[in-house]
Every structure is written in C-alpha cells, then in structure tokens.
Structure 1
Amino acid sequence: MPRKISLSCLLLAVLGAVSNGASAAPTDTISPVGLLSSPYVVDVTGSLNNSGQIAGYAYDNNQLARAYVYSNGTRTNLDPAGALASRANGINDAGTVVGTVTQRDGSDHATVFNGNGNGAATDLGTLGGSSSYANGINNAGTVVGTAYLSADSTFHAFMTQGGKLVDIGTLVGAGGYSEALAINGQGLAVGYSLAANGGQHAFSYANGTMIDLGTLGGANSQAYAVNGSGTVAGVAYLAGDALAHAFVYANGAMTDLGTMGATLSFAYDIDDAGDVVGGLETYDPDGSVVKQAFLYGGGQMTDLNSLIDPAAGWNLQWASAINDKGQIEARGCQADGSCQDLLLTRVDSAHPASNVPEPEAFSAGIAGLALFGLLRRRRGAR
C-alpha cells in the first residue's frame, strides 16, 4: 500500500517488541533492496506496490538523502537534476513515485518523480508557505501530504486536485495542524491532526469531511495506512499515556492489536485482506531495546523472523509495507550492525496470513515509557 511519514511535525515516538514465535520452516524468501553509496537505507513506512516495486531513500556519503525506486532486482536513483536532496515516500501500482525534493535554498517541495530515473520530476508547489511534503499516492494519481501555510505559521494536510494542492483542513479548524499520510483507491485519506483535547488524533477524510478516529484511551493517536475497504491502521496511546499500541479502525471502532508481550507496538500498513504489518519493541531492565517486525492476520500477531531462514542472518526490526500479493517490505539488520530494506516474498501462498505459524506463549510483563516528541523533519542537508 503506498504511503509515507512526512514533514516537520509532531510524530509518535512509538516503540515496541516481541518474543519469538514457534519455529517453523521458512516461508518467505528475502531480496535485499540494496544500498546506494550509503551505510544504511531509511524507509520508515510503506512504499510497496502490487508489482513488488519499492520507493524509498538512502543517504549518500555526504549524508544527503537520495530517492530511489527498486524494481525486479534493480535500484534506480530518482534524484532530479539540481536538487540538494530528495526522498521517495510513496508509489502506486503504475509505478508513479511521490516524495519530497530539497531545493538549493533549503526549502522542501512535494514532488512527483519520473520513475525512469532520468532526472525529471514535477514540483507540486505549496499551500503558501516555504515547504510541502508528499507522503502517498493512489492508483488514480491523487497525492496526499502536508504543507506549510503562508509565513510557515502552521501546516495542513493536502490532497491534490488537477495537479494542485488543496488544503483539507484540520479537526479543530484554522488554528490547528494536520498531515495526511495515506490514501486508498476510493479517495479516503488518513493521517493525524491537532484535536480538541490538545493532543494529536488519527483522522480519516473524504468528500470534504474529516472524522476524528479517537484513541485507545490516551491523548494521542496517528493513522498510517488505509486499505481498499476503508480499514485504517496506526498507533494510539492507552489510558495514562504511558503505552502505545497498534490499532485497526473499522465500522466506527478502534481495535487494539496488542503487543505479544512487548512493551509497545505500532502498525505501519494494511492490505486489502486486512493483514497488518509493523514493529514492536521491548525494553529490558538493563536499558537495552529489542526490536521485532510483526505480521497480524487472522486475529493473531506473529514475529516475522519466524517466517525467514535464520541462516540468512537477518533480524527483522520492523515491517513498513505489505501489498495485496503478500509481499512485505521490512527493515533488517545483520549481527555486524549493517541494516537495509528487504523485500519478503511468500513462497507457498499468495496470501501472507494463510500460513502463519502458531505463536508460543508470551510473557505479559510490560515495562518502559513511550513519548510523543516534537520532531522537525526538514528534509534537506544537516
């Protein structure tokens, strides 16, 4: 599902993890997406289409981000000519990639990239401020993201119409902020907005109406993905605002997906069958953090590491995207600390949840603390 996290904004500092599931024969093959000239690839949320193409970005030797698209074993640099830096954040089934280009003056502009890698790109402009950020695109070509208003006073979610950015507002009116992170084929956009309680709430938006999706009892939530049926996936705080859990929202209700005994969980993407991928983290008493990717389907959460061959040496730390063919984009690290994006492909089924092994019993112990942080994600050089 094409989608992405965006701009200089309040983001959920969502954390979580998991004990291992029952051992089983590997059912997913692993295809490293590869690096540019970077020690690592950064790709936080889903940018995987139904053809198995991945859009993302990596840092070069000067620590400048460079947009890329990965297709059939080949990675192509999308960085447009004259750009200081670029990031690809979303891709649709036609292979159209959207993201952000950092201009030479340091401003960031929402951009539609030419997926052929010839340096061509279309600048979508702003909402009157200096910068804008494109996060997702659907198969109709509608782009969503966020942009600063005049004088960079605040930022609002946008949706494109006729190639232009249209401000879709906030949950609290003109004085708020918002960001759209994903859009489905029916034009339903999701993201987060300043809410009446002063927190940050997940929203859905269609036909001029923005709906507050609420939380799991805490002050904050954020929607990362939406499938073709309108089911939303994201993360929300529980009562007390100490813990955050992955959720799905459907039929007017938010459902807690749990943590499999981990401290926290977050959901980054959902396919049309309702299978969810994301990550968990567990905080140990010694201060260390264990990170694991998960797949949720059929009412249960599974450690994705149980679906790959351990001999490959990968520790899957989070999963950022899933497509309708069961392919999963995940972040994997080796024992030497090297990490990169991976494409997991199910060997024995077209659907990822059909062969999920039964999990073991898990400890119910929970520790640690999750916070919201103000993260100003300017997308240029630092």
Structure 2
Amino acid sequence: NSKGLVVGTAWKDEDTPQAISWKDGKLKRLPLPKGASSSASFASGVNEKGLMVGSSIEGESEGVNGFITDGSKVTKLSAPKSGPALAMGISDTDTVIGFGIPFDTEEFRVKTLRWDSKGVTAFPSPELYNANFAFAISRDGKQIVGTMMRMEEEAQKSLLKSKRYTNAFIAHWKTGFSNGDDGLGPDLTGGAVFPNYLYRSDTENPHAFIVRGGRLVDLNTLIPAGSGWELIFATGVNDKGQVVGMGLHENRLRAFLLSPQ
C-alpha cells in the first residue's frame, strides 16, 4: 500500500510456504486462523488500512480457507456453509474477493466469492460455464474481475480439498509454474494453477469476466466483433473499470488492457 506495507509468501524451506508481510525492512509471519496448519499459507492482498488477506491449509481436513488480518487479530473466511475458499484480494472498503466451493447445495461448483459487512456472497457461472474464479477487485470495491470455464466436477473438488493440489496452487507464488509431476499446467492467471487439460487444443478456452449488476459478464461480449481477440484471464482492475489480463490475439497469447468507452 502507500505506506510501504507489502504482503506475499516466503519459503521457510523448500516445502513450507508462509504468508508474510514486509515493511521498513522488517519481515513478519502473518497469524493464521485457529486450526490452520503451519505447513502452507500465502498472502495475496493488502489495503490502505493495512488489512491483509491470504489463505491457509486447514490442519485436519487438508482443505483450504481464506483469512483476513490486521497483523494480530485474524478471521477465517469460508465459502457459504463452511465450504473451502481462497481469498485473493481486498479493496479499500474492506471488501474481500476470492473463490471457493459453497456447501449450500449438493453441487460442487467453484464460484466467485465476495466477503463484506453483509456476509459472504457466491456468484454462479453464466450458462455454458460451471466454474468461475475472481482474481482482483478495484480499490473502491465496485469492480471484480476473474475467469470462468468448464471444469470437471472431480477437478473442482480436488482444487480446494486436496492437499496435493492446494500445495501446487501455492507453489506458483514461488516459481510461476506448477509441478509437472502433479499433472498441473503453467500458471497463466497470476492467481491460480489449474489442471493442464484445460489448455488442450480440444478444450474450450476459459473466458475473462467482470461482475456487473450482481452477475458475471463475459468480457468478450464487450469488445468489437472481429477484433481477433479472445480474452481469457482478467487479473487486475482499477476504479475506472480498466481491466488487464491475458488473452489470445490471432491465436497468440498476449497481455491486454481493456478500457471502457
């Protein structure tokens, strides 16, 4: 933030990522929710007030939950009905975004989550998609972006309930790529690692989205037809509604900046 507070992940050893903060040359390990394992955690966002968010593996279930902390007091962030979740960002209005699997239905579907003073809200995917992941929120808390895709139900379960996949998710903060031995592909999102079958040529590509009016809107519907672009991942957004991310331009992977007209 503007006061020089930085959050991220440090490795105690090769297999132990830890959520940390850094300010004025001092490195501190972030407190974790009660019951969280010390074996794996990461920090992913900080706002102007100094509130920090991240995620940690649960010690007993080996699932994962988000958390928010001021450096001393810490609160666990879960999906509805105590489902697993990852916290990815926080606005200056203290709204936290991420994704998880709500346990309020029998379906196992990864959904964008928003935590605010009213509680936690889950956003279902539009037709044609069954999983969506929020990666960023604007400072004013009004803009949320991410990616949505079709994903096998078993893969969705594994992503947030399997220690192997959760560790691989966290590992991308260290290397930028996941462990090939785990059957996972390169980290193209800046915020997640997905099974590599999603990148096969015979698999429909993910699509970037922005939240508008309480629903997910495909960013590809907001760009001119015939532009040659397919917007895949949205990884950042500002208060003006400008979105950055990755996409395919004439079948080549490129970064993009999308500005509203």
The reply to whether TM is greater than 0.5 is: yes
Q: Which residue of 2 aligns with 1:25?
A: none
1:249 pairs with one of 189, 211, 225: 211
**Inter-partner Cα distance in structure 2 for 1:205 and 1:252:** 14
The secondary structure found in structure 2 opposite 1:126 is coil
2:5 pairs with one of 96, 99, 104: 96
Greater helix percent: which structure? 2
Alignment of 1:212 onto 2:125: no
| C-alpha displacement of 1:264 | 4.8
- 8 Å CA contact retained: 1:215, 1:238: no
2:30 pairs with one of 120, 124, 132: 124
2:19 pairs with one of 104, 107, 110: 110
**Inter-partner Cα distance in structure 1 for 2:17 and 2:253:** 31
- 8 Å CA contact retained: 1:188, 1:230: no
Q: Which residue of 1 aligns with 2:182?
A: none
Greater strand percent: which structure? 1
Moved more, 237-246 or 221-230: 237-246
The secondary structure found in structure 1 opposite 2:131 is strand
**Inter-partner Cα distance in structure 1 for 2:205 and 2:148:** 8
- 8 Å CA contact retained: 2:137, 2:236: yes
- 8 Å CA contact retained: 1:216, 1:237: no
Render the CA deviation track for 1:198-248: whole Å, top value 9, x for unaligned. Answer: 121111111261111222321111111111142211111279983321111
The secondary structure found in structure 2 opposite 1:236 is strand
- Residues 303-318 of structure 1 aligned to structure 2 (within 5 Å): none
Task: Give the number of aligned pairs.
Answer: 198
Structure 1 residues 146 and 95, CA, compared in 2 at 3 Å: closer, same or farther? same
**Inter-partner Cα distance in structure 1 for 2:6 and 2:236:** 17
The secondary structure found in structure 1 opposite 2:94 is coil
The secondary structure found in structure 2 opposite 1:148 is strand
Structure 1 residues 107 and 239, CA, compared in 2 at 3 Å: closer, same or farther? closer
* Segments ≥4 residues shifted beyond 4 Å: 238-241
Alignment of 1:180 onto 2:87: yes
2:240 pairs with one of 273, 297, 322: 273
Normalising by structure 1, what TM-score?
0.48
**Inter-partner Cα distance in structure 2 for 1:203 and 1:94:** 28
The secondary structure found in structure 2 opposite 1:273 is coil
What percent of counterpart residues are identical? 23
- 8 Å CA contact retained: 2:87, 2:96: yes
Structure possessing the higher relative contact order (Cα contacts under 8 Å, 6 or more residues apart): 1
1:232 pairs with one of 124, 137, 144: 144
Alignment of 1:143 onto 2:143: no
The secondary structure found in structure 2 opposite 1:139 is coil
Write the letter of the residue equivalent to 2:240. A
The secondary structure found in structure 1 opposite 2:93 is coil
The secondary structure found in structure 1 opposite 2:60 is helix
Question: Higher Cα Rg: structure 1 or 2?
Answer: 1
Normalising by structure 2, what TM-score?
0.68
Q: Name the Cα RMSD after superposition.
A: 2.5
Consecutive unaligned residues in structure 1, runs of 5 or more? 1-91, 285-289, 300-382
**Inter-partner Cα distance in structure 2 for 1:105 and 1:238:** 33
1:134 pairs with one of 43, 49, 74: 43
1:157 pairs with one of 40, 62, 66: 66
